[in-house]
Structure 1
């Protein structure tokens, strides 16, 4: 049958609901993967659409049997495609080697053997010819769990009602990306970033040395659009990424003045990073940044600036980096 196109509902960044309202919310683990909506037509086929609307089915051939999981019952399901590391945690860098293969079925099949993916399902928006988006989360969740969608490459993880503080602590203790809080009475809002769903990302922080910057554009012309940062390891300053967010306007202007006084013709990073248009500075400014995780090469993912650390010397920014960077 013909199924309606349903763009995924999006969560808003925020904090845990107030303790007094805790029992009105469900808590699901936030996974670091690719959001997809799965369309099961009831004829054995499945179509996976990314958040952009692009069809991503070819990239994940191991998920094709999902099309037969409900027999003749058509359904539209919401979920996240993950690639898992040796500890069973989602690794976005691993997944990136799969995401770009939407036009290459042969390469996708070969990569599937090397880096298999797993689809976690957390909502159902259409089932058996019936739209479910107007039903509350609790009812949709019951219908989803009744489908018993647990297979070799897909599963339906449990949601926890109440106990938000304990759920968030568990994600931190297990090195997971974070938590998604979903109001029990919330309807499914296609394509809407809603306050009925709140995402909380567990972030780490470390001290870094500023070794360069990239010019800003538009209203940031003349100011740093991003700073290039590194950390000391084995006597060398190794590049760990660019940070372009986290400043107020006055903080960015102050940073620009500090960078101008530290200008240098010599790149302080070893090796020199492949960054076009960089302005190098003497590596004497230390800052604290927040980030979600590191890539396998040691680069910071989703970094944002927290503050300058004038109380620290550049030598204090030592870090335990992966072997690729030491």
Structure 2
């Protein structure tokens, strides 16, 4: 019998890693077997070098051992658009690459999980990678806001193929959405009514450059509002999402949250919070959870969307939940697959 190792603060494990093991798998058990990109600066490089070519991230380990995995050209489709045009030069081979090439490669290397980190707004490319995962029988993690779990045909395809699907829109480990929804739940648990709120985010990495184009940011705003809606408020008109590209911030993300609430005798309570965090590493803790959940779910025969894990890991799961319910469901799922 296995047990789920929930990391306590007296542990020697890495900060930000909630579980030393999920389904028996440690973070160190994960291996890269294939990588795809369209950036001419990355294609052909060993993955260890490609991830830092180029990069604005401040927290980087540049002495990564070579992985033996070369970045291959992925299909271009609509992956580069808006503000990314002229910033990212597509590799010539990416214009000829097809999703069938991706599916064949996933099959050849016997991949277990495919993580999609394409730019927001690249709906065709993202959904095409999902179809490649279905064809190859590989679990799929949609870290983007574009609909995969929320696309009925794609969700059904994963269920019929018998492989897990996780999404949509990966949360940061402790980011703006997690903090915002936790605050809302805290106020409501004390019987306060949230009257007004907003969440403003700026940053200086390529993600924020891409999202500075309103046409590419539409789905991102929707997924953030979906998370706030699941927290228990009417978020249909709430301003929450990417609000600007500030180049000098680099990989730093600055978030401003304001919550106005009404308490006893209609007395007012207002919270103004500013959070600054390195954006890219903030996804790591969630991704290593999601990858191990996807692998374990496949081993347990869980096909289609893994609802019990997704409410905690993603902003826009098929079945949303408050912060406390989402983490309780996630922990229960991890415990259940550890016991089986």
The TM tier, using the shorter chain, reads under 0.3
Larger Rg: 1
**Which has the larger strand fraction?**
1
TM-score after normalising by structure 1? 0.25
**Which has the larger helix fraction?**
2
